[in-house]
Amino acid sequence: MKWFAVFCALCVAICWGLYGPTLTNARAPNREWGPFKPYLFIGVAYLVIAIAGGALMMKFVFHDNFNYGGEYFPSMKWGFLAGCLGALGALGLTFALTKAGGKPAYVMPIVFGGAVTVNAIAAYFSLHAGESVNPLMWVGMVLVVIGICLTAGFTPHGHAPAKPATGDSHAAVTTDSGDDSHSESGLHPGNKS
């Protein structure tokens, strides 16, 4: 049955790996809307999928009840905390990829490589008396950091706008990338106003 857990984990990796590139498509091309306009619908998606998906799995797959009192209270408490951590992570990632100006090419490796490391550290601090850690875990954490650097450094970052020739302040700027960041006013080169 472990193969199914690995399959599910790979599905999560695909979904979360595509999260950053998908979110960058939610950016306004000319800043017609703020970076948190799409975040609201990230929340709606979380709400719909978590509630509908969770209820369906509880009812039809695990035949569970919907009682959250008494002995079931920890499921509500820890579930809510986990949801808060997930939502705060999505909030931070949304900010990193929008207002902070980050690119998925380096933000995503930092997020997910960092998550692996934090998970290992949390597991280390949850050890009970008599349990020990294989030293290869620390080697793995160092390799994750190296992997983050290599992945972020060598992932294609997209087409960079051409730079004007030095010494010529009136050099033409190519606009084939669709980036109008060379205009400080935000106006397109053809606009007169």
For the segment 35-92, what is each residue's pLDDT rounded down to a tens digit? Answer: 788 888 988 998 999 999 999 999 999 999 999 999 999 999 999 999 999 889 989 9
pLDDT for residue 167: 55
This model's pTM is above 0.75: no
Sequence-separated (6 or more) residues with CB below 8 Å from residue 50: 83
Please give the DSSP secondary-structure letter assigned to residue 139: H
Query: Could you count the other beta carbons within 10 Å of the beta carbon of residue 90?
Result: 17
Q: What percent of the chain has pLDDT over 70?
A: 80
Mean per-residue pLDDT, 22-27: 82
pLDDT for residue 159: 57
The type of residue at 157 is H
Give per-residue burial for 154-183: e unless 16+ CB within 10 Å, then b. eeeeeeeeeeeeeeeeeeeeeeeeeebeee
Confidence of residue 171 (pLDDT cuts 50, 70, 90): very low
| pLDDT at residue 94 is higher than 60 | yes
Give the number of C-alpha atoms closer than 13 A to the C-alpha of residue 157, restricted to the C-beta side. 11
